[in-house]
Amino acid sequence: MEMYYDLTFVVDAVTDERVDHLYEQGDFDFNISGCSGLVLFSTTICADDPVQGALQFAATLQPNGVHVQRLDHGLVNQTVIAKLCGVTRQAVSLWVNNIDTDDPFPAPYTLVTAPLWAWGEVNEWLKRTGKNCAEDTCYLSSAQVDQFNAEWGRLDFSLLQGQGAPAPKQMEEPSLKAAA
């Protein structure tokens, strides 16, 4: 069953002319932003298989001058989860530490100075447990992002040159159009 997935790619720097060209083409909606020296390319795709859909979409960017480095995990800490859900950090701490449940909070993706979770897994948990702050859009799990990044790293783009990959279906709601 096809579902909508929000994706954020880390890409090489993109010129204003290239961004204008992509907007003029109008093949898909996207947003480009920068954060801590990273360039982030965000879009929404519709796909049966989110990893294959992400690979296909990323391959369409290459001939358009957008070099995808990797798919971002969308890591969040307890404070960000609280803000996104409109609850206190203490409420999130209760969710995280409540091990006496049939559906425990997802394990952190990594520990840096504090635990970080993949937002896609947190959002799925929010849906399963009936929390009213879950987003309708789907996100790739950390395992799916890892799979994409592994497969992306193995692709030989010299084989794709001149063979424009078909673009995956995009969301059509005008409210989801990218902001310039």
Q: Tokens 């449940």 label which residue?
A: 101
pTM for the whole structure: 0.78
36: CB partners within 8 A, 6+ apart: none
Q: Which of 90, 100, 43 is nearest to 68 (CA)?
A: 43
pLDDT tens figures, 52-92: 999 999 998 988 889 999 999 999 999 999 999 999 999 99
Q: Which of 102, 107, 132, 101 is nearest to 121 (CA)?
A: 107
Indicate if the alpha-carbon torsion angle 85, 89, 92, 96 is positive or negative. positive
Can you tell me the distance from the alpha carbon of 149 to that of 51, in angstroms, rounded to the nearest whole number? Answer: 9
Q: Which of 49, 105, 42 is nearest to 72 (CA)?
A: 42
* pLDDT score of 43 more than 80: yes
Six-digit token string for 66: 């957008």
